[in-house]
Amino acid sequence: MPKPSFVDVEFPEELQKKALEALEIAKDTGRIKKGINEATKSIERGIARLVLVAGDVEPPEIIMYLPGLCDDKKAPYIFVDSKKDLGNACGIERPTAAVAIVIDGKAKDLVDDLVEKIAGLRK
């Protein structure tokens, strides 16, 4: 799946899988915010540890503002290929466009590692 045209970074598949794994762990042992509105609020409040955004959202204008908002609020973000994968990792049966990990719980080390690698990709 090609990344959205407004994204300036290519996120390797291995990193995407780790991000989804971290999301699953955080869902069970920490706290996550599901959906574009909840993720946006988490970013604006400065409590998002990691934001996962689906790359297959149609129309892309729905999520286009998220990378800029994340940059403004210093919230790390990663694009994953599909909103179906994102929904599954959240433990819901519906596809979702965006999720924020707010409290990482037992995923802390994994999230810290991801944040570092994402920052390295963006330099």
Instruction: Decide if 26 is inside a domain.
Output: yes
Q: Is residue 3 very low, low, confident or very high in pLDDT (cuts 50, 70, 90)? A: low
- Which run of H or E residues covers position 55? none
What average pLDDT score do residues 4-28 get?
89
pLDDT the model gives residue 122: 75
Cβ contacts of 88 within 8 Å, gap of 6 or more: none
What average pLDDT score do residues 46-75 get?
95
- Identify residue 71 by its one-letter amino acid code: D
Instruction: Decide if 102 is inside a domain.
Output: yes
Distance (Å, rounded) from C-alpha 92 to C-alpha 48? 20
33 beta partners: 100
What average pLDDT score do residues 36-52 get?
97
pLDDT the model gives residue 2: 53
User: How distant, in Å, are the alpha carbons of 94, 121, 122, 123 from that of 9?
Assistant: 27, 7, 7, 10
Q: What pTM was estimated for this model as a whole?
A: 0.94
Q: Which residues in the chain belong to E strands, given as ranges?
A: 31-34, 50-54, 77-80, 98-103
Residue 50, SS3? Answer: strand
Residue 79, SS3? Answer: strand
Instruction: Decide if 7 is inside a domain.
Output: no
pLDDT the model gives residue 50: 97
Specify the CATH number for the domain of residue 72.
3.30.1330.30
pLDDT one-digit tens code per residue, 69-117: 999 999 999 999 999 999 999 999 999 999 999 999 999 999 999 999 9
Instruction: Decide if 37 is inside a domain.
Output: yes
What average pLDDT score do residues 48-54 get?
97
Instruction: Decide if 47 is inside a domain.
Output: yes
pLDDT the model gives residue 5: 66
Number of domains making up the chain = 1
pLDDT one-digit tens code per residue, 93-104: 999 999 999 999
